[in-house]
Structure 1
Amino acid sequence: MTDRHVTRTGDDYAEALSLLLPQGQAWPRDAESTLMKVVRGLSQIWGLIEMRASLLLEIESDPRSTVELLPDWERNWGLPDPCYQEPLTIGDRQIALVQRMTIEGAQSRQFFIDVAAQIGYTITIHEYRPFMVGVDRCGDNRVYGDGSVPFYSDTFVRGEIPVCNPVGEPVGNDELSEWPNYGLGPIENRYYLTVHVMNARLTWFRVTKGQVGVDPHLRIGLATDLECLLNRWKPAHTHIIFDYSGLTNGGSMAGTP
């Protein structure tokens, strides 16, 4: 069970205050008496204070749900981020805040895929490498795949390495794979990678996540934020090529209606 702050209403305070009053005919406890009406009226302010305290403890203290204190959270964490050039909804800002607080950095492909997913994008990553003697074979070393056809050479122990196309999809039965390397070329080829952006970022209007009269029903985001974030966190010696040829309308930052 979730631990929640105990919230007392103004009527709760009125009942507690009435028990502290003197006894006698001059101090009636009848709910319709003038005395009890005054007690209830004076006690409501404490109920409001209690409700505000509960709001701060249960909602505003959580960066995933904060609204009123969101500007304070953002100021303390150096937001808004210059990577976000487009208008952001409250939900977008909450996501950016949580990401800023939790991101630790890494160099794996999964790290960049997760960063993109946090802000509403689906991506795959294609890395390159030059031909390597002792690892690759001369001639046409592409293979026909079924999603699990292994790459191998005579000098290495055979291992099951899934065959995928550049966007990370398994090669189908009798489908010819891509070249496993970039062919002859400089060693700098391995410092390039292609990020395939598979969907536009769709931000649908949501109650509590948007502002009536400010945010539209749907905002289709440009990928300027994605490019900025990935270029910020990529290893310094690498270069990212962004590919939008497989862009679809699927995916959404705030879900689909």
Structure 2
Amino acid sequence: MDIEKQYQRMVGNLLPYGPAWDKTEPILLSLALTLSKTHLRVDDLMREIDPRTTNELIDRYEQICGLPDSCYSEESQTLTTRRNRLDSKLNLAGGINKDFYLQTLAINGYPDATITNYNNDVFTCESSCEDYLYDEEWRYYWVVNIPAGRHITEMTCEDSCNSYLRKWGNKQIECIIEKLCASHTYVIFKYGVINA
């Protein structure tokens, strides 16, 4: 049933009984219209509370959260990008563990990214031949593996002769992860990784 009709029925039911009261009185119909519009507006405002569905309050939310920051240029953002960034800033539970960074990568469009740590991969005389050759310093390094085909641009015949043969990288996600990473660690980004 239409919400305006529901309010017309409710307002009509509030009238005293008797022949003097008409439920189709214009003032009562306008009151029902006003109440239905108010009801719909309150529903809109309830959607504005959630940063994933906000439209009108997104500028205010971004101002409160310090967005857009240096990781995002203002002109390249769509409403969806702004909402995702706002949602990750407000609702992502922080941490300095692998799950936190994978969650951040997923929210920012990389659900299939992986992370490689070198915490327990120190090569010693008892290591097998197949172990990696990392020393103790590598425990401070970790690698974000972006799957094959993502943000890799090959040179074409139409490019100029001083163009790169291949370019890769996404400055935006690199900036976000580097801002969130622990200050004593170093992040390496690998693009085009098939299995990591």
Relative to the length of structure 1, the TM-score reads 0.55
Alignment match, 1:136: 127
Q: Is the 8 A contact 1:84 1:224 kept in 2?
A: no
Q: Which protein shows a greater Rg?
A: 1
- 2:174 matches 1:224: no
Q: Is the 8 A contact 1:193 1:239 kept in 2?
A: yes
Shift of 1:65: 1.7
Structure 2 residue identity aligned to 1:225 = Q
How far apart, in 2, do the equivalents of 1:107 and 1:72 lie?
29
Count of paired positions: 170
For 1:41, what is the secondary structure of its paired residue?
helix
Gaps of 5+ in 1: 1-7, 143-179, 202-221, 248-257
Alignment match, 2:50: 62
2:92 alignment partner, one of 88, 92, 103? 103
Q: Is the 8 A contact 2:150 2:191 kept in 1?
A: no
Shift of 1:87: 1.9
Q: Deviations over 1:199-226 (max 9, x none)?
A: 538xxxxxxxxxxxxxxxxxxxx62221
How far apart, in 1, do the equivalents of 2:98 and 2:91 lie?
18
Shift of 1:244: 1.5
How far apart, in 1, do the equivalents of 2:10 and 2:3 lie?
11
Shift of 1:49: 1.0
Alignment match, 2:15: 20
**Distance 1:28-1:229 versus aligned 2 partners, 3 A rule:** closer
How far apart, in 2, do the equivalents of 1:12 and 1:126 lie?
59
1:127 alignment partner, one of 114, 117, 120? 117
**Distance 1:13-1:123 versus aligned 2 partners, 3 A rule:** closer
Q: Flag the structure with more relative contact order, 1 or 2, with Cα contacts below 8 A and sequence separation at least 6.
A: 1
The runs of at least 4 consecutive aligned structure 1 residues that moved more than 4 Å come to none
Identity %: 27
Structure 2 residue identity aligned to 1:11 = K
**Distance 1:92-1:28 versus aligned 2 partners, 3 A rule:** same
**Distance 1:45-1:237 versus aligned 2 partners, 3 A rule:** same
Gaps of 5+ in 2: 152-168
Q: Is the 8 A contact 2:150 2:192 kept in 1?
A: no
Relative to the length of structure 2, the TM-score reads 0.70
RMSD: 2.9
Aligned pairs for 1:52-91 within 5 A: 52-57=41-46, 59-85=47-73, 87-91=76-80
Shift of 1:99: 1.0
Shift of 1:239: 1.4
Aligned pairs for 1:242-253 within 5 A: 242-246=189-193
**Distance 1:68-1:132 versus aligned 2 partners, 3 A rule:** same
